[in-house]
Amino acid sequence: MSKVRILTDRVANQIAAGEVIERPAAVVKELVENSLDAGATRIEVEFRHGGRSLMRIEDNGHGMSRDDALLALERHATSKISEADDLNRLASFGFRGEALPSIASVSRFTLQTREAGDDAGTEILVNGGKFVHVRDCGRPVGTRIEVAQLFNSVPARRKFLKTDQTEAAHIIAGVRLYALAFPQVAFTLIEDGRIIFRSPECIGLVERVAEIFGKQLAEGLVPIEVAEGGMKLSGLIGRPGTGRSTRHEMITFINQRPVDSRALNYALIESYHESLPKGRYPLAFVFFEIDPAAVDVNVHPAKREVRFRSETAVRGFIIRSVLARLRELVESPEARGEKTGNPVVSPPVPPVFPVLSSGFQSAGERRVELNVPRPAFASPVSVEIRNPKPVIRSVQSGWRWLGLAHGNYALFETSSGLVMLDRRAAHERIWFERLQDQFRAGTVPSQRLLLPVPLELDPIASALLLARLGFLNGHGFEIVEFGRNFFRIESVPAWMEPADAEPFVRELLGALRDGRLQDRDVDIAREQLARLAAAKAVRLGESAGESEMQALVTQLFACRVPLTSPGGHPTHIELSHGELTRRFQK
C-alpha cells in the first residue's frame, strides 16, 4: 500500500480550522463578515460561556438556496471570487471559502437559510465535520448559523481557550468593530442572555460610538474628513489633550475592514506627539480609504495585518491630515468642548490620568481637579507609621542631612561616605508596606466622596470591573453599579485624592485588560493594588526640611525591604570614602 495519501476533507478542514479559527471570537468574526457580505441590514449575535457552548449569528441578508448552502460547506466554495486575479478588486470580506467548512468541522454546526423567492428555508446540521441532515425549515429570508460545542471534535484545542470572560471580551471587542464600521446596519449583541448593546441602523458614527463605548468618551471626539490623491481619512479623533493609557480606543479601518495596522497606528501616535503627554495614546475611530489594489490584506488567514504598497505616502497623508485638524482645533472653541450656542453641560473632558503634583510636572502637563470638595486628610509625609519596628537599624542614625538636589534627591553625609536618597522611591516603599499591612488587616481607611463620581465604561471594562467590585470594595473603595455599564464611585481609600478616583479605576482596568495585571490570587491582587496605589499616593512637597528628611529615613528603614522601591528600583545609593578617594585620584 502506498504511504502517501490525500487527506480526507474532514481532516483537511480541521487543519484549516486550526489556522482560521483560533478562538470563539474568530468564529463570530467570520460569520458576521459573511452576513455583511450578504448585504444584511440587521445582524444579531448571541453567545454563551465565552462562545464555547454557543454562538448564534442571525442576519436578514440575501440568504442561500439549498444547493448553494450545501456547496458553501464544501472546501474552497465561495461565491465571491473565481480567479486569483479577482483578489485585487476584492470588495467583500470573505474570499477563501474556508470559514464555513472549517467551523463546521470543529463544532456542532446548524445552518438555516432562505433565499427570497424560495418557499421553504433549508436547515443543514453538521457535527464535528460529519454531515447529519439536510431538511426544510421555516424562516424569514436570511441566514441563521448556530455553532455549539466549539472544538468538540478536537479536544486538544479546547485547552488553549482562556477563561469565558477573556473569550467573551474578544467577541465583544470584535463585534464592536464591525458595528462601528457599519453604522447603517443594526447590531445586537447578547451575552448569556444579557444585551451588551443594541444599536439601530442608520445612526451616525458619533451615536454609534456613544452607544458602544459610552457618552463620556464620545464627547471627547471631533470629526475629521480629508481626501487627497486617491486617499481619504474620515471618522472621529480625540480632542488635543484627551488621551488614554492604552491603545484600546485607537481603532482603524481600511476600506471598512477593521485592521491592526502598524503604519496607521504609528502615524496617529506621531500626529498627537505634541497634543498628548508622553505615554498616552490618542482616541481615534478612523476610516482610511485607498484603492484596494494598493493594500494587501492577504497576509494572514485571520486577515488582521495589512500591508500598503506605499507606506510612506500613507503615513505622510495621515500625519498631515491629523496635524492640520489638531491645529485647527487648538485655535477654535471646539477644542475645549464648547458647542456654539449651547451652554456647556459637562466640564471639558479631563485627561484621564491627571498628573500628580510631584514637583516634576513638565510645562505641558496640567493638573486637573474635578469639582469634588476635598476632605482634609493628612499629607503622606506627616503621617506617622502606626507600628514602627522597635529596632531601627543603627546604620542610618548617624546620617547628616546636607540638602536636596533636583527636588528629589536628599543628600546625607554618613560615617562611611555620602548617601543619595530618592525621596519618591522611599515614599513609595513606605506607602507600599503601609498599604499592604492595611490590606492584610482588612482595615483600609476610606473617605466618602461628597459628590459621587460617575463612571461610564465600555462593556469589556465594565465586565472586568464587575468581576472585581467585591475585591475593590473590600479595599477602601465603594463602587456601585447603577445601570448597564454605569457605575458610581462613592468612596475611595483615604490615601487617594478624590480627583484621582476615576483615573485610577480606569488605569487599573486598562492594566487588567492588557494583561499587565494578573489577579487570580488575592495576595497577588493586593500586592499589585498596593504597588499602583503607592505610586499614586506619594505627593512630594516642593521643599523639605531636615526633620522631614530624618523622619523619612527613619520610616524607610523601619520597612521590611528598605533598599528598593516597590517597582524594584534602589531607594538610595551610597558613595563610600574609598569610592570618593578613587574618583579624585588621590
Residue 456 site contact among ligand ADP, Mg ion, none (CB < 5 to 8 Å, cut-off depends on kind): none
What is the total count of residues that contact ligand ADP (CB under 6 A)?
22
Does 38 help bind ligand ADP (rule: CB under 6 A)?
A: yes
Shortest Cβ distance from residue 31 to Mg ion (Å)? 8
Residue 35 site contact among ligand ADP, Mg ion, none (CB < 5 to 8 Å, cut-off depends on kind): ligand ADP
Contact 92, 101 (CB under 8 A): no
* Binding segment (CB under 6 A) for ligand ADP, from list 42-50, 91-99, 318-326, 499-507: 91-99
Nearer to ligand ADP, 189 or 552 (CB): 189
**Interface characters, 43-82, with ligand ADP (x: CB under 6 A):** ----------------x-xxxx-------x----xxxx--
CA 508 to chain centre: 11
Does 97 help bind ligand ADP (rule: CB under 6 A)?
A: yes
CA 460 vs CA 89, 169, 248, 275: distances in Å: 36, 6, 11, 27
Does 94 help bind ligand ADP (rule: CB under 6 A)?
A: yes
Shortest Cβ distance from residue 457 to ligand ADP (Å)? 32
Task: Cite the beta strand spans of 115-220 per DSSP E.
Answer: 121-127, 130-137, 142-148, 186-191, 194-199
Q: Give the SS3 label for residue 223.
A: strand
512 closest CA partner among 473, 466, 461: 461
* Binding segment (CB under 5 A) for Mg ion, from list 92-100, 167-175, 354-362, 506-514: 92-100
DSSP structure string for 441-489: HT---EEEEEEEEEEE--HHHHHHHHHHHHHHHTTT-EEEE-STTEEEE
Phi and psi at residue 98, in whole multiples of 5°? -110, -25
Among 13, 14, 35, 528, binds ligand ADP (CB under 6 A): 35
Does 143 help bind ligand ADP (rule: CB under 6 A)?
A: yes
Burial class (CB in 10 A: 0-12, 13-18, 19+), 430: buried
Query: Can you tell me the distance from the alpha carbon of 238 to that of 283, in angstroms, rounded to the nearest whole number?
Result: 5
Shortest Cβ distance from residue 38 to ligand ADP (Å)? 3
Shortest Cβ distance from residue 98 to ligand ADP (Å)? 6
| C-alpha cell read off for 25 | 471570537
* Binding segment (CB under 6 A) for ligand ADP, from list 33-41, 351-359, 417-425, 447-455: 33-41
Nearer to Mg ion, 34 or 199 (CB): 34
Does 43 help bind Mg ion (rule: CB under 5 A)?
A: no
Helix (H) or strand (E) holding 401: strand 400-405
Shortest Cβ distance from residue 115 to ligand ADP (Å)? 8
| C-alpha cell read off for 109 | 454546526
Nearer to ligand ADP, 140 or 570 (CB): 140
The terminus-to-terminus CA distance of the chain in angstroms comes to: 88
Phi and psi at residue 308, in whole multiples of 5°? -100, 145
Q: In this structure, how many other beta carbons lie within 10 angstroms of the beta carbon of residue 136? A: 12
Contact 312, 255 (CB under 8 A): no
Residue 97 site contact among ligand ADP, Mg ion, none (CB < 5 to 8 Å, cut-off depends on kind): ligand ADP
Helix (H) or strand (E) holding 112: strand 108-114
Nearer to ligand ADP, 120 or 522 (CB): 120
Contact 288, 242 (CB under 8 A): no
List all residues 6 or more positions away from 472 whose beta carbon is below 8 Å from its beta carbon: 465, 479, 505
Query: Can you tell me the distance from the alpha carbon of 88 to that of 556, in angstroms, rounded to the nearest whole number?
Result: 66
**Interface characters, 51-90, with Mg ion (x: CB under 5 A):** ----------------------------------------
**Interface characters, 94-133, with Mg ion (x: CB under 5 A):** x----x----------------------------------
Shortest Cβ distance from residue 293 to Mg ion (Å)? 21
Does 95 help bind ligand ADP (rule: CB under 6 A)?
A: yes
CA 60 vs CA 47, 91, 482: distances in Å: 19, 20, 34
Query: Can you tell me the distance from the alpha carbon of 213 to that of 197, in angstroms, rounded to the nearest whole number?
Result: 10
Phi and psi at residue 142, in whole multiples of 5°? 135, -170
| C-alpha cell read off for 146 | 448556530
Nearer to ligand ADP, 37 or 167 (CB): 37
DSSP structure string for 95-109: -SS-HHHHHHHTSEE
Shortest Cβ distance from residue 62 to ligand ADP (Å)? 6
Nearer to ligand ADP, 131 or 377 (CB): 131
Does 34 help bind ligand ADP (rule: CB under 6 A)?
A: yes
Nearer to Mg ion, 143 or 555 (CB): 143
DSSP structure string for 125-138: EEETTEEEEEEEE-
What is the total count of residues that contact Mg ion (CB under 5 A)?
3
Among 25, 26, 28, 100, binds ligand ADP (CB under 6 A): 100
Does 34 help bind Mg ion (rule: CB under 5 A)?
A: yes
Nearer to ligand ADP, 30 or 502 (CB): 30
Among 99, 221, 276, 544, binds ligand ADP (CB under 6 A): 99
Shortest Cβ distance from residue 294 to Mg ion (Å)? 23
Nearer to ligand ADP, 110 or 491 (CB): 110
Which residues in this chain contact ligand ADP in the complex, by CB under 6 A? 30, 34-35, 38, 59, 61-64, 72, 77-80, 94-100, 143
Which residues in this chain contact Mg ion in the complex, by CB under 5 A? 34, 94, 99
